[in-house]
Amino acid sequence: MDELKIRWNDYQRERWLALSESNVRRLPAVYVHDKDWDDDPHRCFIFTNERTLKQIRWRHFLSDCESMVAEYAEVEKLLAEEIDRANAWLVENHQDIQENFNSTVVKLRKKRKIIMTESALDDLSKIDADKK
């Protein structure tokens, strides 16, 4: 499972960069999603990129957003595609790990050394004494 976690973190980093680059090229748009959570109205604003944010003034937030509103269905479609892509990636990599797993091989990890002064823990004992 550790190998899958490591691969998953790399995959997430790779996808985040790819999505960031594709969003930079998109036209300015604002996606608005109204949702009630526990009977509390909630409005979520999603901005495509930095150019979109630069066009919105804080004092005129709603009116500026209104002129750039796009269909939230686009976000849902992109999200569904990304979930499908991630699920396929997980299945493929899990299968690869299962096929190539060798329990005798231990992955080397970087050792971490903690260096502390002699009096570093003295303050902790003072805190403990103060609680009593």
Residue-wise pLDDT tens digits, 52-107: 989 999 899 999 989 999 999 999 999 999 999 999 999 999 999 888 877 777 77
Looking only at the bridges linking them, the beta strands covering 30-37 and 69-70 are parallel
**In which domain, by residue range, is 89 found?**
2-131
Structurally, the chain folds into a number of domains equal to: 1
DSSP state of 49: S
Burial label for 115, CB within 10 Å (0-12, 13-18, 19+), is exposed
- Which strand (E) or helix (H) includes residue 11? helix 2-25
- Token look-up 């509390």 returns 40
- 12's enclosing H/E stretch is helix 2-25
Q: What is the pTM of this model?
A: 0.66
Residue count of the chain: 132
